[in-house]
Chains A and B, each alone.
Chain A
Amino acid sequence: MFDEYLARRYRTTTRPKKEHYLVKDSAAIVGIGATEFSKDSGRSELQMVCEAVKAAVDDAGLQMEEIDGFVRFEMDYTDEMHICSSLGIPKLTYFAECGWGGGASCSTIVHAAAAIAAGVAECIVCYRGMNEASGRRYGRIPGTPSIMTAPRDHFGSILPFGHCTPPGWVAMFASRYLHEFDATAEDLAWVSVVCREHANRNPNAIFYDRPLTVQECVEARMIIEPLRLYDCCVDTDGAVAIIVASAEKAKKLKQKPAYIVGATQGNATEGELMTSYYRPVISGLPEAWYTGQELWRVTGAIPSDVNVAQFYDAFSPLIPMQLEEYGFCDRGKGMDFCRGGDRIRLGGELPCNTSGSHLSEAYLHGMNLIAEAVRQIRGTSTAQVKNAELSLVTGGLGIPTSAILLRN
């Protein structure tokens, strides 16, 4: 499929000089807000988003009229125009939209921080709101008789085969990953168990009062082989808002700023929306590798500098795969890193997903992971890493993705 020439190009990145990176330390996350996380919110996504933005504005100690920018997910059903009307925000000078599902999570911060570094706006809201548990699920094909043609070319070549949901798309990568590195369902279970341990300390987590054992994981019902029930994230109703402000403004606000050291995005060739099965290797996530390479380059940090990480975990295999792609361990060693849980739980060498994350806290498309990374910098997490100085968050996988590194 790929000859030597193409393989070489596949590995090549363009690397402008580090000193041209203007985002570093120019902006900080100053406010975080969220609704409750539930299975049935009983209200509109717009209302939940407005509630989350209000909570974040209050958290930051801002006035509503100081908000001058919004960054939304392309997939979100709400928009800045209607949010401003509900919240009485008089005007905006910046608004943007980020593509690729959960890959957009840290991309929203890339846009906000870049806009602030460029002087386009000073105080930008990044948000996501969804009634994913009770309402319109983007993760399921409705299967109504009116849908006859699969949308777009790449979907048109996979949906007719009933390969139509995120667990199936990720399960395909997982089957190859588990096969190449001789990993078992039990190995994978440790990922879910550690996330659940962290959720059991977090009263806002959907699974706060529900412990989970390895045994329960491996005996749980199969969803799409090789993924079982607890390998999959928890469908959630809720909203999260994150406010990014200039470093200068951040100093005058209520909370300890979580400074943005770096915010990067990555796309890799031969990609499709969660079905990039045609690459030389599919047991890895090259978008995450590029995003990580760029993050380490622009920040000057290396993986061992990171004190706490929130890896995007719509499905459990994505955590060991990202440990490899972001450089925390060698290729094929991600499963070893997670086995037994000691290295990834609170107190371990890299405490991961300390709120319980998507697998056990809530699935808010990565935005609840950003909120947790900020709490770690502030020192207010329910699974607080002592003296956390560098806090990593990553975006959705199997798609163009993104990551941020925060500091205190």
Chain B
Amino acid sequence: MVMEYNPKIPTLRPYIDPDNQGFWDGVREHRLVIQKCKDCGLVIHRPRPMCPRCLSTEREWTPSMGKGVIYAYVNVIYQNAGYPGIKAPYSVVVVEITEGVRILANLYDIEPEGVRIGTPVEICFDDIADDLTLPKFKRLNS
């Protein structure tokens, strides 16, 4: 089973600003890209205007393989504690990707009993509405 959205309650749209625009542009094109400092090479997520290591504002978007493992997770079981427009249960995961940063997203499939820290996952993209694509994670090879 996949996550179920209630069309009467729109899913919140990401807030896009000049600092994270590249990330969300990538998502719309079904590509996962991560901010990288052009001067010192530090890979950074979440996006920000300045590299916290060398204080450079020169940055680029580097493609990610989108593979990693579940670092932490929650399963939203009680509907009132979750978003009303998404049918509970659903899972929110923080995934540590091989490039070394962590990404927060949903698990594409619903199977709360099976979610474990350390489970290998890979990125996929869910076109929820004409103007909304979200990155999600699938168990590897599923």
Contact = CB atoms under 8 A, between A and B. Distances in A.
Of A154, A168, A272, the most chain B CB neighbours within 10 A belong to A168
Contacts of A157: 14-15, 20, 46, 104
Contacts of B75: 222, 224-225
A159 B86 CA distance: 11
B82 A160 contact: no
Contact of A1 (B17, B43, B80, B83): B43
A88 interface: no
Interface in B41-82: 42-46, 52-53, 71-78, 80-82
Q: Please tell me the size bucket of the interface on A.
A: 35 or more
A172 B73 contact: yes
A140 B85 CA distance: 13
A116 B62 CA distance: 52
A172 B92 contact: yes
Contact of A148 (B13, B92, B101, B105): B13
Contacts of A3: 42, 53
A173 interface: yes
A145 interface: yes
Interface stretch (A12-20, A186-194, A275-283, A388-396): A275-283
A160 B46 contact: no
B13 A150 contact: yes
Contact of A223 (B20, B71, B81, B132): B81
Interface string A161-185: 1111101100111011001000000
Contacts of B45: 1, 278
A159 B112 contact: no
Interface residues of B, number: 47
Contact of B84 (A143, A148, A159): A143
Interface in A105-160: 140-141, 143-145, 147-160
Given A172-B94, A176-B71, A224-B81, A160 B53 contact: no
A3 B37 CA distance: 14
B106 to A, nearest CB: 5
A165 B122 CA distance: 26
A221 interface: yes
Contact of A162 (B20, B71, B83, B132): B83
A6 B52 CA distance: 8
A213 interface: no
Interface string A64-103: 0000000000000000000000000000000000000000
Contacts of B77: 221-225
A277 B72 contact: yes
A268 B19 CA distance: 21
B16 interface: yes
B12 interface: yes
B2 interface: no
Contacts of A141: 12, 83-84
A153 B104 contact: no
A269 B53 CA distance: 12
B23 to A, nearest CB: 8
A223 B78 contact: yes
A269 B52 contact: yes
Contact of A224 (B9, B78, B102): B78
Nearest to B128: A160
B126 to A, nearest CB: 11
Nearest to B116: A179
Most A-side CB within 10 Å, residue of B19, B74, B92, B134: B74
Given A158-B104, A172-B94, A282-B72, A148 B12 contact: yes
A272 B20 CA distance: 15
B74 A278 contact: no
Interface in A277-320: 277-278, 282
Given A150-B12, A175-B117, A179-B117, A162 B78 contact: no
Given A168-B76, A221-B78, A224-B78, A161 B92 contact: yes
A145 B9 contact: yes
11 contacts: A143-B9, A152-B15, A153-B17, A157-B15, A165-B82, A167-B81, A168-B92, A172-B72, A222-B77, A222-B78, A278-B101
Given A157-B15, A222-B78, A223-B78, 8 more contacts: A149-B15, A150-B12, A156-B13, A162-B76, A163-B74, A168-B82, A179-B72, A224-B76
Interface of A: 1, 3, 5-6, 140-141, 143-145, 147-165, 167-168, 171-173, 175-176, 179, 221-226, 269, 272, 275, 277-278, 282
